[in-house]
Structure 1
Amino acid sequence: MDYILLSIGLICMIVGILGSFLPVLPGPPISWLGLLLLFCTDAVPMNYWILGITLFLAVVVAILDYVIPAKGTKRFGGSKYGIWGTNIGLIIGLIAPVPLGFIIGPFVGAFVGELIYNSSDKKRAFKAATGSFLGFLASTFIKFVVCMVYLGLFLYIAWDNFK
């Protein structure tokens, strides 16, 4: 049973890392679930401090995932249309067979969203799209780093206890 929980936990870690890039998957909470499954095994003693701190961090990062792009868009003069455009552009960029679509998509999506909101001011739309894009990049980077730290913690604890 321990190896099943260990395997599912590792899958959660990998899905969490993918979720740090995909907007439909909450990366850090899924990675935290992998840590929880690891601690549910008989081979690993329960450590509530590690689980509590990592849960708190996962929740904070999940909240910041929504706040950072919105603040970036607002700071650069954007609207909610730019934020929605960023998310839609990311999904289209992931699906479209365009090289680096996951980077180009959010920017183009925010730009189009701002043009839908106010089609007469292209300079403001470009500025807001830049802010939304920078917020998206910052948020993605934070989620990726947290998920990689969780993976490292997972591997360290698993290696130490499953020798």
Structure 2
Amino acid sequence: MDFVLIFFGIIFMIAGVLGSFLPILPGPPLSWIGLLLLHLTKIVPANTTFLVVTLVVAILVLVLDYVIPAVGTKRFGGSKIGMIGTTLGLLVAIIFPVFGVFGIVIWPFIGALIGELINKSTGQNAMKAAFGSFIGFLASTFLKFIVAVIYFGFFIKSLITYGPNLF
């Protein structure tokens, strides 16, 4: 049974890292499930505090993933309509993957730009706000990737430490 849990834990870890870049997959929560599966084995001692702290971090990063692009838009002079446009653009990227992986970059930018133009911003201000959306997206993607890789590191370290006990 431990081998099955470890196998699926590895699958969730890989999906978590990929989910850092793909909007369909929630990266850090998937990585956390991989950690949970590893801690459910008989070889790794369950550490409730570790699991709770990593879960809280995964949930916090999940929430920040939706907030940071909107904050980036606002920080670069965007309006509330521009922030709404960023969020709608992200939803469009998820629902209609027209541009593939690049859609998660392009659609929030376009959404912020359209939102600012609707708000009667000048073209220059609208572009600046859309650029803020792009910077926010990059920041949130980087944050998700770092957390997923750290969780993968925890997973590998635990396997190296306790793995010999499998046999």
Q: Give the corresponding residue for 1:82.
A: 86
Q: Give the corresponding residue for 2:15.
A: 15
* Cα shift at 1:149: 0.1
Q: Is residue 86–residue 108 contact of structure 1 (8 Å, CA) maintained in 2?
A: no
Find the aligned partners of 2:37 and 2:45 in 1 and give their Cα distance: 12
Of 99, 115, 125, 1:96 maps to: 99
Find the aligned partners of 1:7 and 1:29 in 2 and give their Cα distance: 17
Equivalent residue letter for 2:157: Y
Cα shift readout 1:27-67 (whole Å, capped 9, x = no counterpart): 11110010000000111111112112111111111121121
Q: Give the corresponding residue for 1:5.
A: 5
Q: Give the corresponding residue for 2:142.
A: 141
Find the aligned partners of 1:69 and 1:102 in 2 and give their Cα distance: 11
TM-score by length of 2: 0.82
* Cα shift at 1:85: 1.9
Aligned residues: 160
Cα shift readout 1:71-123 (whole Å, capped 9, x = no counterpart): 1112221421133224535776x65379x6654554345334544x3467322
Q: Give the corresponding residue for 1:151.
A: 152
Matched, 1:123 2:120: no
SS of 2:139's equivalent? helix
User: Where does the alignment leave 5 or more consecutive residues of structure 1 unmatched?
Assistant: none
SS of 1:23's equivalent? coil
SS of 1:36's equivalent? helix
Find the aligned partners of 1:97 and 1:139 in 2 and give their Cα distance: 19
In terms of mean alpha carbon deviation, does 18-27 or 146-155 score higher? 18-27
**Shift in alpha-carbon separation, 1:160–1:95, aligned structure 2, 3 A:** farther
SS of 2:41's equivalent? coil
Find the aligned partners of 1:86 and 1:122 in 2 and give their Cα distance: 21
Q: Is residue 31–residue 150 contact of structure 1 (8 Å, CA) maintained in 2?
A: yes
Q: Give the corresponding residue for 1:132.
A: 133
Q: Give the corresponding residue for 1:30.
A: 30
* Cα shift at 1:14: 0.8
